[in-house]
Structure formats: C-alpha cells, structure tokens
Chain A
C-alpha cells in the first residue's frame, strides 16, 4: 500500500497558488503594456495600466492576508528552514528558487510603485527604474521556466506537484529525494 506524507500545509499551498495567480495576471497585463504588437492590438493602455497597478497592490495585499489569516507561525518556520542551506524538506536549489522569487517580488513591487509615482511626481523618477522592472521580468521568466520544467515535466521530480496541490507526497519518493526529511523505514 502506498503511504503518503504531508509536505505542504494548507497555508503554504494557498500562499503558493495566490502568488502564482497574481504573477500570471501581472505577467499578462504587463506584456500587453510592454510588447508593441500586443499594445497595438489590445489598445486601452490607460485601463490596462490601472489593471496592472492594482494587480500589484492586490498581490501584496493577498499575500499579506494569507500570511496573517493562515498559519503564520508555520510560514515563519518554513521561512527559517529555507534560510538554512541544507537538504531537508527542500533541497538547496528549491530554497534558492524560493528566495529569489521573494526578492524579485519585493523588487517588482518597489520598481512598479516607483514607475507609478514617477509618472505623478518627478522626485520619484529614476532613469533606470524601467530597466530594473524589465530585467526582473526576464529573470523571473527564466526562474519560472525552470520551476515549471521540474514541477510538471521532469519525470524524477514532477511528483512534487502533488505536494503543492493535495499537500501530500509518496513516502518512498520523499525518502529518495529528501532523505534527511523523512525518517528511514522502521526495521
């Protein structure tokens, strides 16, 4: 009989999917603003700009809401675990992915806010805010493609998608991939 172990709490999964949903929404509205062909075909730039800006505000608010209304202590524990570069419930690559994603989120929000403010008040205008926002787009896309490949396509690792959807993973799989997280089978 297959046994399963819990890898992600409900709060962790909600946090992940809320983040993913807002990222994709902001990617879609952002690309309309960024790519000339999409800008031309979609038009309505003032509306799309508002949708993009308020999407960013909503992103921050939704993550804060999940963190505060859900299992905050659990999330904090996870964050402390991610800080330590040892292979436990996560390997070091997964931890680097999570840390860069968090750092990029902060930078996206700050540079996005500066773009919005800079249009309204010259004191908030810097020559390379838009360069930073663009560079973050490219860096995040590279990270996302790697993440999707490992989570959905790569045969050895794609079982982990179950952990992020249902919360549990196959115990044998967990032992093979994260030997220091799951205790060895009892003799």
Chain B
C-alpha cells in the first residue's frame, strides 16, 4: 500500500474532472420525514455540484443528512422540495416506475452490508441487474464474467455469498454495481463491515474504477481513511453543505 502524505493533491494522479455542466447538480433540496407525528428536517435546502468523473466522499456526524442525500442522488428516495439533476435529468419529476428504470440504467449501488442474494452465486448476483436489459442469457453471462474479472474474482464466480469473505462479497457487489456501465456509482459505507485489509482492497478497487474508467463515485463514510481515498470530501452539518475540500488522495 502506497500512502502519499500531506500537501495538495498530486495533479498527475488525479483523473481529469470534466469541464462543463456537473453530472450531479443539487439545488435547494429539502428533505423532511414524519416521525411520530413530528416533522423532522434532515436536509435544509442543500445545494452542491459533483463533476463527471469525480470521486466524492460525503462525511458528517450522525444526523447530518449524508445518507439521506446519497439516497436522493441514487433515486431511492425523493426530496420534499428542490431540484436534483443527474446527467441533465431532473429525477424529481420522474414517476416511481420511471425512477426504477432510471436507477437500473444509471446507478450502480454498493451497500455497507453488500446486499447480495444469498441463494445466487457470485455470477448470478452480478447478472441480476442485467435482467432488466434486453441482453440475451449468453450476453448477460459474458458481461457478468467480465465484471467479476475486473474485481479479480473470476475464480469464485460459482460461489454463493456464504462461501466468500466479507471483502470478496463487497467486490462481487462492486462488480454488480458496474456491470450495467452506470452513470454514477453510489456507495453507502462500503468498508463499514470490513477489516482493514479488505477495506483497503475495496477502496483501491473504487479508485481504479474512478481512474481507469472515469466512474463518478459518491461515497458516504464515517471513516477518515476511507474518505481519504476520494478526491473530494464534502462535509455536511445539520442538513447543509459545511465544506468542500479537495483531498490528498490516499492510494489503496
């Protein structure tokens, strides 16, 4: 593992952030929940931009709204008010079924607890999102195998999740997330359930996807080390963006 300490981001290592319109544009987004008859305000009119090809970590104390914001970006929740443009499309205007289709095409998910289907093999888990495309069985298999090769799990494709370690399961989840070539990858505490070595492997994989494939990644994390893998760290505090810093990326 090669750690680069202190100072500004090394421009030679940073991927090229695309000029022009941001891929994610959030404008005055408010999100409230009802809890026991009371309205709880989680996001208080937050606004931020994420450029295409950026690897962003969302950090903040518990209750700051970071996971809520990630859910909104991923299209699995809707803001109370505000505008949310992903790749030029205002997803707040989509119906539930349109949003489901949008997610299938545009979003790759990486969950803290992997969320793999226990009865499916690694290959079948990766193949799952491709069922929503028009690909033939053979094409689905080929793409799923390729995705597993990219995460160095080609030799485990017939194993079910309970036959894999935590780190391996998370790599399968990453393969599942990238198999449809999504516009954005959202990761909610992807290393939260992993030991240090596995966490480092996963973060390294995310960095390679960002660097080599130009993947736009938005990651929620509590872990400063995990956040250090990103190029940009956005701090949320009480439902608003508190700070945005370009980091010195820790290479994994």
Same complex: no
User: Which residues of B approach A to under 8 Å, CB–CB?
Assistant: none
